[in-house]
Amino acid sequence: MTHFGILCPAAIGHLNPMCALGRELQRRGHRVTLFHMPDVQTKVQKAGLEFYTIGEAEFPLGSLEPMYKHLGEMSGLPALRFTISWLEKETVMLFREVPEALSKVGIEALLVDQVTPAGGTIADFVNIPFVTVCNALLTNREEAVPP
């Protein structure tokens, strides 16, 4: 069967559905590994999925909760700037670490949350198929697709 990799944000609203999808794929005989920062390892392993740590330098254990707390205290442009900075930092890390990690673990196909746009590019770069998963309202950034 196929060894699927999962890339998604660390937010519960993205992790929970991706873990459910991963468990269903396992039930059907596939192997599933989720790639993320150390703070989500326990949740992913409790869900029964394999976990591969990435982003330890940028997002050390214990850094996720303070970032969400800080973001929750913000609004308007400062919150938007903080979010963009966070996503940029995460995207740079994904491009740097994930291609090698996918190869090392033997990922054959990638499941990419729609708000992790680096995932599709990474899959193309390492020449594996990918599926974009929409866990919320569709966010399609292609010019040819209407909003």
In tens, the pLDDT along 100-119 reads 999 999 999 999 999 898 99
pLDDT at residue number 34: 98
Domains of the chain plus CATH, in order, are 3-133 (3.40.50.2000)
Establish how many alpha carbons lie within 13 A of residue 140's alpha carbon, considering only the half-sphere containing its beta carbon: 7
Taking a C-beta distance cutoff of 8 angstroms, is the pair 116, 9 a contact? yes
In tens, the pLDDT along 62-107 reads 999 999 999 999 999 999 999 999 999 999 999 999 999 999 999 9
Q: What is the spatial distance between Cα 55 and Cα 110, in angstroms, rounded to a whole number? A: 18
DSSP of 39-79: GGHHHHHHTT-EEEE--TTTS-TT-HHHHHHHHHT--HHHH
pLDDT at residue number 37: 96
pLDDT at residue number 147: 60
Taking a C-beta distance cutoff of 8 angstroms, is the pair 130, 25 a contact? no
Q: What is the spatial distance between Cα 48 and Cα 26, in angstroms, rounded to a whole number? A: 9
- Banded pLDDT at 145 (limits 50, 70, 90): low
